[in-house]
Structure 1
Amino acid sequence: MNSDILILGGTGSIGYAFTMELVAQKIPVTLLVRDIHKAQQIFDQTPLIEFVEGDVQNGALLKTLAQDKKVIFHGINYSYEAWKGNMQQATQNVIEAASLNKAQIIFPGNIYNYGLIQTPIMEESPENPCAVKGQIRVELEAMMRTAAQNNLCKLLIVRLPDFWGPNVMNEGVRPIFANALKGKPMRWLCNMDIPHQTVYTPDAAKIMVELMKIKQVEEVSVYNYGGQVHASMRTLFAKIAEQAGQPAKYQLMSKWMINLLAIFIPVLKEIKEMTYLYENTVVLNDDKLRRLFPEFKETPLEEAIKTALSWKGYQS
């Protein structure tokens, strides 16, 4: 089955949700994956998904796959300590591949670009990163914006806060759900008792697919999708524990503990500079998106939590 859509990072958190939403709408896709066997274990068998084994760092392969594609979903990610260099090269390869057919690049953005901002982030808010990873995100978006403005491609940025849902397997989210199922403490950083914004990945995927379907007139389109602001992560964790049928237990990793462990654990060294996002409330304003899709509603929280808890990756 021929596909107009190439998905990069399809076995990751947002890429998985985006792929599953397309499949649910009977839209065929091509996934470039590093391990076909692993990918086939994550996705249910369907003729709507074509798997190709390879690496996004292989620019020649990416160009071959992109020749007939109208959309390239750029969901590529690396562990924090491997961002520098890898993310820039991957993005350059995506741009060159998209330019063959002036394809639309869909890029899930985040809030790192804005640093510790006191007001809700608007689509036009000035970028002011206060961490290296924020600087890298600004650089990546600038690369793609320049390409789009030079008529090499189209660019759709959908900016998201923290996210959770099926197949969100990073070490910030996976232990929350896995531990809840076992009655173990659910971990968080710095402060559990301030408002925090999160997105359920299947909801984000629905938004991105609907935005993809709109004929993009401008070279660059940017939309925020903020999901829900929870009164605190403690209240959200209590609801997760309730759905798991276990007592709510919490484990807070303080900033001084992160700083201490960062001496020995490389990924914590990278997380250390991001603690401002856990000590403060930083939120996206998504009024622009809500006006565009006034009838859109998030998945009810209890239903979303049940679905996430049933994800096979949290069961072991």
Structure 2
Amino acid sequence: MALNTFSFLVLGGTGSIGYAFTQELLRHQEQVTLLVRNKQKAQKLFGPQPTLQLIEGDAQDGDLLLQLGAEATHIFHGVNYPFEKWQNNMERVTQNVIQAAAISKSTIFFPGNIYNFGLIDVITEETPPSPTTKKGVIRVKLEQMLQQAAEQGKCAVVNLRLPDFWGPNVMNEGIAPVFRGALAGKAMPWLFRNDIPHQLVYTPDAAKVYYMLAKHPPRQPYTVYNFAGEVVPSIKQWQAQIAKAAGTEPRHKVYPGWLFKVMGLFSPGMREIAEMGYLWQNTILLNDDKLRQTLPNIPHTPMQQAIEETLAWHREQ
């Protein structure tokens, strides 16, 4: 397709995956509108960019989203809330996104995850949902809303399911402290277990896949792909690699499951983490054969390079 036949509205562009996708779009000089709650933060993250427009507002504002969606060929739904605020907020904002996409029959890009499936060894695109947590039930509902809208002809939806993600500007409390700890020569924390294989995806690689899918129109109104990223032999081994790249000695720290149960008595956020504990106590894998058939040249940044890029980003901050 010719340059700039697309117009992207990105929601959650200052967050983990939204940031990476926005950077990828800007690299290709695509027209990008970012709806952000903090314009100053976004300006600091992205700097001046000729094809970037920053709009301050909230995706809960349905009228604003309708106005912005009217111009978009693609809407990236990267909105996220703290675990304890998912209820109602995620459903409401997803409904707003669907209504905005319906104006121009836009394509919604939705970053899926594995919460829909409970404890299962390997997940394919055909694996039926079987949530065992409140968060999993909400994720199933969001996907059902998106699938129904697509099948009713309101929009197209591409749901790219991802494992745990990491990379520049991934600031969640599971990942950022690992890199901060490595740079400072302090403990690199993890939850529950750090001695089993774990699947991770580097956000710039996921962003490249989204962009490749934008140029590869979906055959069905609602399309699901898994993107497997990379499986590390163990988080402990991965953290040791990060520490070595940072020039420090690896110091590991594992927060046990009972701690979150105790803290959950006083903190809703900790209670939510305790409920999701199976994700860190077991190896759960996404199979991405379907994506590899669609996109034979899936990008993969070598682990050493990805670690160095992420450490460099944290140093700059």
Give yes or no for TM over 0.5: yes
- Offset at 1:2? 9.4
The answer as to 2:15 corresponding to 1:12 is yes
TM-score by length of 1: 0.97
Give 3-state SS (helix, strand or coil) of 1:100's partner: helix
For residues 72 and 297 of structure 1, do their structure 2 counterparts lie closer, same or farther at Cα, with a shift above 3 Å needed? closer
Q: 1:97 aligns with which of 89, 97, 100?
A: 100
- Offset at 1:295? 2.7
Any conservation in 2 of the 1:185–1:248 contact (CA below 8 Å)? yes
For residues 3 and 291 of structure 1, do their structure 2 counterparts lie closer, same or farther at Cα, with a shift above 3 Å needed? closer
Any conservation in 2 of the 1:3–1:30 contact (CA below 8 Å)? no
1:30 equivalent in structure 2: 33
Amino acid of the residue matched to residue 223 of structure 1?
Y
Q: 2:190 aligns with which of 170, 188, 191?
A: 188
Amino acid of the residue matched to residue 167 of structure 2?
G
Distance 1:89 1:296 in 2: 33
Distance 2:179 2:159 in 1: 29
Q: 1:67 aligns with which of 51, 65, 70?
A: 70
1:106 equivalent in structure 2: 109
Give 3-state SS (helix, strand or coil) of 1:78's partner: coil
For residues 156 and 165 of structure 1, do their structure 2 counterparts lie closer, same or farther at Cα, with a shift above 3 Å needed? same
Aligned pair count reads 314
Distance 1:296 1:218 in 2: 21
Distance 1:32 1:189 in 2: 32
Amino acid of the residue matched to residue 188 of structure 2?
M
- Offset at 1:297? 3.7
The answer as to 2:213 corresponding to 1:211 is yes
Distance 2:264 2:179 in 1: 24
- Offset at 1:35? 1.1
Distance 1:67 1:116 in 2: 40
Distance 2:30 2:229 in 1: 25
Moved over 6 A (4+): none
Distance 1:278 1:265 in 2: 20
Distance 1:86 1:215 in 2: 30
Distance 2:313 2:262 in 1: 33
- Offset at 1:148? 0.4
What pairs up with 1:184-263 in 2 under 5 angstroms?
184-263=186-265
1:267 equivalent in structure 2: 269
Distance 2:297 2:235 in 1: 27
- Offset at 1:3? 6.2
2:80 equivalent in structure 1: 77
2:155 equivalent in structure 1: 153
Distance 2:217 2:72 in 1: 15
Question: How many percent of aligned residue pairs carry the same amino acid?
Answer: 49
Any conservation in 2 of the 1:178–1:315 contact (CA below 8 Å)? no
Distance 1:42 1:156 in 2: 26
Listed as ranges, the gaps of 5+ residues in structure 1 are none
- Offset at 1:70? 1.0
The answer as to 2:128 corresponding to 1:126 is yes
The answer as to 2:301 corresponding to 1:302 is no
Any conservation in 1 of the 2:32–2:51 contact (CA below 8 Å)? yes
Listed as ranges, the gaps of 5+ residues in structure 2 are none
RMSD: 1.3
Any conservation in 1 of the 2:6–2:74 contact (CA below 8 Å)? no
Distance 1:2 1:289 in 2: 24
Amino acid of the residue matched to residue 161 of structure 2?
R
- Offset at 1:38? 1.0
Any conservation in 1 of the 2:209–2:299 contact (CA below 8 Å)? no
Give 3-state SS (helix, strand or coil) of 2:144's partner: helix
- Offset at 1:167? 0.4
TM-score by length of 2: 0.96
Amino acid of the residue matched to residue 58 of structure 1?
D
Any conservation in 2 of the 1:105–1:156 contact (CA below 8 Å)? yes
Distance 1:202 1:114 in 2: 25
